[in-house]
Amino acid sequence: TQLLEQSPQFLSIQEGENLTVYCNSSSVFSSLQWYRQEPGEGPVLLVTVVTGGEVKKLKRLTFQFGDARKDSSLHITAAQPGDTGLYLCVYNQGGKLIFGQGTELSVKP
């Protein structure tokens, strides 16, 4: 079983649309991270959420950590083609990263 369940796994939308990616677990986490990976490259850290109920914004990206610290979401407003990539929900276990299955996002112009 997957520790971190991400949904949806694939998402294809038009430029300008909004979207939300979910990361769920039955476990409680001290923190969760979101990474983005572009084709042929390594993942890059977007944000770390630490406090239950926390909301962090990164331009058009809004990250939320659930009150019970079991889940997180990523909302993108007015998606752009440059947002295309693989979005990964990650638990950092003392430097050892546990990855969700990832959400492959494609934003078409």
Give the interface with other proteins as residue ranges (CB under 8 A).
10, 31, 33, 40-45, 48, 86, 88, 92, 95-102, 104
Considering the complex, what minimum distance in angstroms separates the CB of residue 33 from other proteins?
A: 8
Q: Would you say 32 and 48 are in contact if contact means Cβ atoms under 8 Å apart?
A: yes
Stated as kind and residue range, the H or E segment containing 64 is strand 61-65
Cβ neighbors of 35 (< 8 A, separation 6 or more) are 43, 44, 45, 46, 87, 88, 90
Give 59 or 96: the residue with its C-beta nearer to other proteins: 96
Partners of residue 48 on adjacent β-strands: 33
Shortest reach from residue 46's CB to other proteins, in Å? 11
Which residue, 42 or 82, has its beta carbon nearer to other proteins?
42
Cβ–Cβ < 8 Å for 54, 72 = no
CB 100 to other proteins: min, Å: 6
Question: Which residue number, 9 or 77, has a Cβ lying nearer to other proteins?
Answer: 9
